[in-house]
Amino acid sequence: MDLFFPSACPRIIKLKKKQYMRNSITDILTRLKTIDKHFQGSKPVKTSILAARLDVSEKTIYRDLKFLESEYNAPVEYDFKSKSYHYTKPFKFNPVDLTISELYNLAIIRKLIKSSSSNPFKTGQKSLFKKLTMSFGEDIWDQIRMVKEKVSFKFKPVRIHDEKLFKVIEKALFNEISLRIDYFMIDKNTAEERIADPYHMRCHEGNWYLIGYSHKENKVRMFAVNRIKKAKLTNRTFDIPDNFNIKDYFIYSFGKRRTSRIYNVKFEVRQNFANQILESEIHTSQILKKLPNGNIRVTLKVSDLSEIKEWILSKGSGLVVKSPPELIKMITEESKSILNSYK
Protein backbone atom coordinates (compact mmCIF):
# COMPACT_ATOMS: atom_id res chain seq x y z
CA MET A 1 0.00 0.00 0.00
CA ASP A 2 1.32 3.47 -0.90
CA LEU A 3 0.59 6.22 1.55
CA PHE A 4 -1.41 9.17 0.33
CA PHE A 5 0.00 12.59 1.10
CA PRO A 6 -2.34 15.57 0.67
CA SER A 7 -1.22 18.05 -2.00
CA ALA A 8 -0.94 20.77 0.62
CA CYS A 9 1.63 18.72 2.51
CA PRO A 10 5.35 18.38 1.70
CA ARG A 11 5.98 15.98 -1.19
CA ILE A 12 8.01 13.15 0.33
CA ILE A 13 6.35 10.13 -1.25
CA LYS A 14 9.77 8.62 -2.00
CA LEU A 15 11.43 7.97 1.34
CA LYS A 16 15.15 8.75 1.34
CA LYS A 17 16.05 5.91 3.67
CA LYS A 18 19.77 6.62 4.07
CA GLN A 19 19.15 10.25 4.94
CA TYR A 20 16.28 9.29 7.24
CA MET A 21 18.36 6.69 9.10
CA ARG A 22 21.00 9.27 9.94
CA ASN A 23 18.68 10.24 12.76
CA SER A 24 19.14 8.48 16.10
CA ILE A 25 17.53 5.04 15.88
CA THR A 26 16.36 5.51 19.47
CA ASP A 27 14.54 8.74 18.51
CA ILE A 28 12.95 7.06 15.49
CA LEU A 29 11.74 4.08 17.53
CA THR A 30 10.36 6.38 20.22
CA ARG A 31 8.34 8.29 17.63
CA LEU A 32 7.09 5.10 15.96
CA LYS A 33 5.94 3.74 19.32
CA THR A 34 4.07 6.98 20.05
CA ILE A 35 2.44 7.05 16.61
CA ASP A 36 1.40 3.42 17.02
CA LYS A 37 -0.10 4.19 20.43
CA HIS A 38 -2.23 6.97 18.94
CA PHE A 39 -3.34 4.73 16.06
CA GLN A 40 -4.60 2.07 18.49
CA GLY A 41 -7.61 4.33 19.16
CA SER A 42 -10.71 4.25 16.98
CA LYS A 43 -10.33 7.78 15.58
CA PRO A 44 -7.85 8.88 12.85
CA VAL A 45 -5.07 11.18 14.01
CA LYS A 46 -3.87 14.37 12.32
CA THR A 47 -0.17 14.73 11.57
CA SER A 48 -0.22 18.17 13.20
CA ILE A 49 -1.24 16.59 16.51
CA LEU A 50 1.49 13.93 16.26
CA ALA A 51 4.08 16.59 15.36
CA ALA A 52 3.07 18.70 18.38
CA ARG A 53 3.15 15.73 20.76
CA LEU A 54 6.57 14.64 19.55
CA ASP A 55 7.98 18.15 19.10
CA VAL A 56 9.02 17.54 15.48
CA SER A 57 7.93 18.85 12.10
CA GLU A 58 5.04 17.36 10.14
CA LYS A 59 7.60 16.46 7.47
CA THR A 60 9.29 14.17 10.00
CA ILE A 61 5.93 12.57 10.85
CA TYR A 62 5.29 11.86 7.15
CA ARG A 63 8.66 10.15 6.96
CA ASP A 64 7.89 8.17 10.09
CA LEU A 65 4.58 7.02 8.61
CA LYS A 66 6.26 5.97 5.37
CA PHE A 67 8.97 4.14 7.30
CA LEU A 68 6.33 2.42 9.46
CA GLU A 69 4.58 1.24 6.32
CA SER A 70 7.63 0.23 4.26
CA GLU A 71 9.73 -1.43 6.99
CA TYR A 72 7.04 -2.90 9.27
CA ASN A 73 4.17 -3.40 6.79
CA ALA A 74 1.91 -1.24 8.93
CA PRO A 75 -1.58 -0.79 7.35
CA VAL A 76 -1.41 3.02 7.41
CA GLU A 77 -4.01 4.90 5.38
CA TYR A 78 -5.08 8.51 4.86
CA ASP A 79 -8.68 9.40 5.72
CA PHE A 80 -9.91 12.12 3.31
CA LYS A 81 -12.90 13.07 5.41
CA SER A 82 -10.98 13.85 8.60
CA LYS A 83 -7.68 14.64 6.83
CA SER A 84 -5.97 12.23 9.21
CA TYR A 85 -4.17 8.89 9.27
CA HIS A 86 -5.17 5.58 10.84
CA TYR A 87 -4.70 1.79 10.66
CA THR A 88 -7.03 0.00 8.27
CA LYS A 89 -6.91 -3.21 10.31
CA PRO A 90 -5.62 -4.38 13.71
CA PHE A 91 -1.87 -3.89 13.94
CA LYS A 92 0.63 -3.59 16.78
CA PHE A 93 4.05 -2.03 16.17
CA ASN A 94 6.77 -4.38 17.37
CA PRO A 95 10.30 -3.00 16.91
CA VAL A 96 11.83 -6.38 17.73
CA ASP A 97 10.37 -7.81 14.53
CA LEU A 98 13.78 -8.07 12.90
CA THR A 99 14.46 -10.04 9.72
CA ILE A 100 16.17 -13.44 9.85
CA SER A 101 19.24 -11.86 8.26
CA GLU A 102 19.38 -9.14 10.94
CA LEU A 103 18.97 -11.69 13.73
CA TYR A 104 21.64 -13.87 12.10
CA ASN A 105 24.11 -10.99 12.22
CA LEU A 106 23.25 -10.19 15.83
CA ALA A 107 23.77 -13.84 16.72
CA ILE A 108 27.22 -13.74 15.08
CA ILE A 109 28.19 -10.61 17.02
CA ARG A 110 27.00 -12.15 20.28
CA LYS A 111 28.95 -15.33 19.55
CA LEU A 112 32.05 -13.24 18.83
CA ILE A 113 31.68 -11.51 22.19
CA LYS A 114 31.53 -14.83 24.03
CA SER A 115 34.02 -16.72 21.85
CA SER A 116 37.15 -15.27 23.40
CA SER A 117 38.04 -13.59 26.65
CA SER A 118 40.68 -11.67 24.67
CA ASN A 119 38.20 -9.96 22.35
CA PRO A 120 39.55 -6.34 22.37
CA PHE A 121 36.15 -4.87 21.47
CA LYS A 122 34.17 -6.77 24.11
CA THR A 123 33.31 -3.70 26.21
CA GLY A 124 31.91 -1.78 23.27
CA GLN A 125 29.97 -4.80 22.02
CA LYS A 126 28.42 -5.39 25.44
CA SER A 127 27.35 -1.74 25.48
CA LEU A 128 25.74 -2.26 22.05
CA PHE A 129 23.66 -5.17 23.32
CA LYS A 130 22.57 -3.19 26.38
CA LYS A 131 21.23 -0.50 24.07
CA LEU A 132 19.50 -3.14 21.92
CA THR A 133 17.82 -4.51 25.04
CA MET A 134 16.68 -1.02 26.00
CA SER A 135 15.29 -0.40 22.52
CA PHE A 136 13.78 -3.80 21.75
CA GLY A 137 13.20 -5.37 25.17
CA GLU A 138 14.23 -8.81 26.43
CA ASP A 139 12.31 -10.52 23.61
CA ILE A 140 15.25 -9.93 21.29
CA TRP A 141 17.24 -12.68 23.06
CA ASP A 142 14.49 -15.23 22.43
CA GLN A 143 14.64 -14.46 18.72
CA ILE A 144 18.46 -14.64 18.66
CA ARG A 145 18.31 -18.00 20.47
CA MET A 146 15.89 -19.20 17.80
CA VAL A 147 18.47 -18.39 15.12
CA LYS A 148 21.23 -20.13 17.10
CA GLU A 149 19.18 -23.32 17.18
CA LYS A 150 19.30 -23.37 13.38
CA VAL A 151 22.83 -22.06 12.74
CA SER A 152 26.00 -22.46 14.80
CA PHE A 153 29.32 -20.63 14.62
CA LYS A 154 32.90 -21.62 15.34
CA PHE A 155 35.51 -18.87 15.31
CA LYS A 156 39.25 -19.16 15.45
CA PRO A 157 40.63 -17.99 18.84
CA VAL A 158 41.74 -14.36 18.84
CA ARG A 159 45.22 -13.52 20.08
CA ILE A 160 45.16 -11.89 23.52
CA HIS A 161 45.47 -8.11 23.35
CA ASP A 162 45.41 -5.28 25.87
CA GLU A 163 42.02 -3.58 25.63
CA LYS A 164 43.52 -0.27 26.78
CA LEU A 165 46.01 -0.43 23.93
CA PHE A 166 43.15 -1.05 21.49
CA LYS A 167 41.26 1.95 22.86
CA VAL A 168 44.22 4.21 22.05
CA ILE A 169 44.59 2.75 18.55
CA GLU A 170 40.84 2.97 17.99
CA LYS A 171 40.77 6.64 18.97
CA ALA A 172 43.70 7.42 16.67
CA LEU A 173 42.14 5.44 13.82
CA PHE A 174 38.72 7.11 13.86
CA ASN A 175 40.00 10.62 14.61
CA GLU A 176 42.97 10.40 12.21
CA ILE A 177 45.57 11.21 14.85
CA SER A 178 49.18 10.05 14.50
CA LEU A 179 50.39 7.44 16.97
CA ARG A 180 53.71 7.15 18.76
CA ILE A 181 54.34 3.42 19.24
CA ASP A 182 57.03 1.17 20.66
CA TYR A 183 57.21 -1.62 18.10
CA PHE A 184 59.01 -4.89 18.84
CA MET A 185 61.49 -5.84 16.11
CA ILE A 186 61.92 -9.62 16.00
CA ASP A 187 65.24 -9.51 14.16
CA LYS A 188 66.72 -7.08 16.72
CA ASN A 189 64.91 -8.55 19.74
CA THR A 190 64.08 -5.06 20.99
CA ALA A 191 61.36 -2.41 20.68
CA GLU A 192 61.89 0.71 18.57
CA GLU A 193 59.89 3.92 18.53
CA ARG A 194 57.77 4.64 15.47
CA ILE A 195 55.39 7.41 14.40
CA ALA A 196 52.49 5.90 12.46
CA ASP A 197 49.37 7.33 10.82
CA PRO A 198 46.72 4.59 11.25
CA TYR A 199 44.64 4.02 8.10
CA HIS A 200 42.96 0.67 8.75
CA MET A 201 42.65 -2.23 11.21
CA ARG A 202 42.47 -5.79 9.90
CA CYS A 203 41.84 -9.09 11.72
CA HIS A 204 43.33 -12.09 9.93
CA GLU A 205 43.06 -15.61 11.35
CA GLY A 206 42.72 -14.37 14.92
CA ASN A 207 45.51 -11.80 14.72
CA TRP A 208 45.06 -8.01 14.49
CA TYR A 209 47.09 -5.79 12.18
CA LEU A 210 47.33 -2.02 11.86
CA ILE A 211 47.89 -0.68 8.35
CA GLY A 212 49.26 2.83 8.25
CA TYR A 213 51.94 5.23 7.12
CA SER A 214 55.30 4.76 8.84
CA HIS A 215 57.16 8.09 9.10
CA LYS A 216 60.51 6.37 9.61
CA GLU A 217 60.20 4.20 6.49
CA ASN A 218 58.24 6.78 4.44
CA LYS A 219 55.72 4.21 3.25
CA VAL A 220 52.49 2.45 4.13
CA ARG A 221 53.18 -0.74 6.04
CA MET A 222 51.48 -3.26 8.29
CA PHE A 223 52.12 -3.45 12.04
CA ALA A 224 51.22 -6.58 14.03
CA VAL A 225 49.25 -5.24 17.01
CA ASN A 226 50.64 -7.93 19.32
CA ARG A 227 54.10 -6.43 18.70
CA ILE A 228 53.01 -2.91 19.66
CA LYS A 229 54.21 -2.65 23.26
CA LYS A 230 53.05 0.93 23.87
CA ALA A 231 50.87 3.39 21.97
CA LYS A 232 50.34 7.07 22.66
CA LEU A 233 48.39 9.75 20.82
CA THR A 234 50.41 12.61 19.40
CA ASN A 235 49.11 16.16 18.89
CA ARG A 236 49.33 15.73 15.11
CA THR A 237 46.40 14.93 12.80
CA PHE A 238 46.63 13.63 9.25
CA ASP A 239 44.54 12.99 6.15
CA ILE A 240 44.43 9.58 4.51
CA PRO A 241 45.62 10.00 0.90
CA ASP A 242 42.90 9.79 -1.73
CA ASN A 243 44.89 7.12 -3.57
CA PHE A 244 44.89 4.73 -0.59
CA ASN A 245 42.36 1.92 -0.85
CA ILE A 246 42.45 -1.09 1.47
CA LYS A 247 41.14 -3.46 -1.21
CA ASP A 248 43.89 -2.36 -3.58
CA TYR A 249 46.46 -2.66 -0.79
CA PHE A 250 45.66 -6.36 -0.30
CA ILE A 251 44.55 -7.15 -3.85
CA TYR A 252 47.41 -9.60 -4.52
CA SER A 253 47.92 -10.74 -0.95
CA PHE A 254 47.27 -14.42 -0.29
CA GLY A 255 46.61 -13.66 3.36
CA LYS A 256 48.21 -10.79 5.22
CA ARG A 257 51.68 -10.54 3.72
CA ARG A 258 52.56 -8.48 0.68
CA THR A 259 55.63 -7.19 -1.15
CA SER A 260 56.16 -4.78 -4.04
CA ARG A 261 56.68 -7.69 -6.42
CA ILE A 262 53.84 -9.57 -8.12
CA TYR A 263 54.35 -13.30 -8.77
CA ASN A 264 52.48 -15.24 -11.44
CA VAL A 265 51.71 -18.59 -9.81
CA LYS A 266 50.64 -21.61 -11.81
CA PHE A 267 49.78 -25.08 -10.51
CA GLU A 268 47.71 -28.09 -11.49
CA VAL A 269 45.07 -29.67 -9.28
CA ARG A 270 44.86 -33.42 -9.90
CA GLN A 271 41.51 -34.68 -11.13
CA ASN A 272 40.62 -36.76 -8.09
CA PHE A 273 41.36 -33.78 -5.77
CA ALA A 274 39.65 -31.08 -7.85
CA ASN A 275 36.30 -31.02 -6.06
CA GLN A 276 37.93 -31.00 -2.64
CA ILE A 277 40.49 -28.26 -3.37
CA LEU A 278 38.37 -26.04 -5.63
CA GLU A 279 35.12 -26.16 -3.63
CA SER A 280 35.86 -22.57 -2.51
CA GLU A 281 37.68 -19.69 -4.16
CA ILE A 282 41.45 -19.86 -3.70
CA HIS A 283 42.17 -16.24 -4.63
CA THR A 284 40.28 -13.38 -6.27
CA SER A 285 42.71 -13.38 -9.21
CA GLN A 286 42.36 -17.09 -9.97
CA ILE A 287 41.75 -18.39 -13.50
CA LEU A 288 40.77 -22.05 -13.91
CA LYS A 289 41.21 -24.19 -16.99
CA LYS A 290 40.34 -27.85 -17.43
CA LEU A 291 43.13 -29.84 -19.10
CA PRO A 292 42.79 -32.84 -21.46
CA ASN A 293 44.06 -35.21 -18.73
CA GLY A 294 41.24 -34.13 -16.38
CA ASN A 295 43.44 -31.97 -14.17
CA ILE A 296 42.58 -28.32 -13.48
CA ARG A 297 45.17 -25.64 -14.17
CA VAL A 298 45.03 -22.71 -11.75
CA THR A 299 46.79 -19.43 -12.41
CA LEU A 300 46.78 -16.49 -10.02
CA LYS A 301 48.79 -13.44 -8.95
CA VAL A 302 50.17 -12.99 -5.43
CA SER A 303 52.54 -10.47 -3.85
CA ASP A 304 54.20 -12.92 -1.44
CA LEU A 305 55.14 -16.58 -1.85
CA SER A 306 55.52 -17.71 1.76
CA GLU A 307 51.79 -17.89 2.56
CA ILE A 308 50.78 -19.65 -0.63
CA LYS A 309 53.67 -22.07 -0.05
CA GLU A 310 52.13 -23.06 3.28
CA TRP A 311 48.71 -23.47 1.66
CA ILE A 312 50.10 -25.65 -1.16
CA LEU A 313 51.97 -27.89 1.29
CA SER A 314 48.75 -28.37 3.26
CA LYS A 315 47.15 -29.91 0.15
CA GLY A 316 49.77 -32.65 -0.06
CA SER A 317 49.93 -34.53 -3.34
CA GLY A 318 46.65 -33.01 -4.52
CA LEU A 319 48.39 -30.40 -6.64
CA VAL A 320 51.67 -29.78 -8.45
CA VAL A 321 53.29 -26.35 -8.82
CA LYS A 322 54.48 -25.41 -12.31
CA SER A 323 55.77 -21.85 -11.70
CA PRO A 324 57.41 -19.63 -10.62
CA PRO A 325 60.77 -21.32 -10.05
CA GLU A 326 61.19 -19.57 -6.68
CA LEU A 327 58.02 -21.20 -5.36
CA ILE A 328 59.01 -24.63 -6.67
CA LYS A 329 62.37 -24.29 -4.90
CA MET A 330 60.72 -23.22 -1.62
CA ILE A 331 58.34 -26.20 -1.68
CA THR A 332 61.11 -28.65 -2.62
CA GLU A 333 63.36 -27.50 0.22
CA GLU A 334 60.51 -27.54 2.74
CA SER A 335 59.46 -31.02 1.63
CA LYS A 336 63.01 -32.33 2.00
CA SER A 337 63.24 -30.82 5.46
CA ILE A 338 60.00 -32.50 6.51
CA LEU A 339 61.16 -35.83 5.09
CA ASN A 340 64.49 -35.61 6.89
CA SER A 341 62.66 -35.06 10.18
CA TYR A 342 61.20 -38.58 9.89
CA LYS A 343 64.40 -40.42 8.97
* Residue pLDDT tens, the chain, 343 long: 445 444 434 333 344 555 555 556 668 888 888 999 889 877 889 999 999 999 999 999 998 998 888 878 889 998 888 889 999 998 888 765 566 666 667 777 666 666 555 566 666 667 777 767 766 667 677 777 776 676 666 666 666 667 788 889 989 998 999 999 999 998 889 999 999 999 999 888 878 899 999 999 999 999 999 899 999 999 999 999 999 999 999 999 998 888 888 999 999 999 999 888 888 889 999 999 999 999 999 999 999 999 999 999 999 889 999 999 999 999 999 999 998 998 7
- pLDDT of 135: 64
- pLDDT of 1: 46
- pLDDT of 167: 87
- pLDDT of 134: 66
Q: What is the pTM of this model?
A: 0.60
- pLDDT of 7: 40
- pLDDT of 8: 38
- pLDDT of 11: 37
- pLDDT of 14: 46
- pLDDT of 124: 65
How far is CA 158 from each of CA 14, 226, 295, 300, rounded to the nearest angstrom? 45, 11, 37, 29
- pLDDT of 27: 80
- pLDDT of 299: 96
- pLDDT of 99: 65
- pLDDT of 9: 42
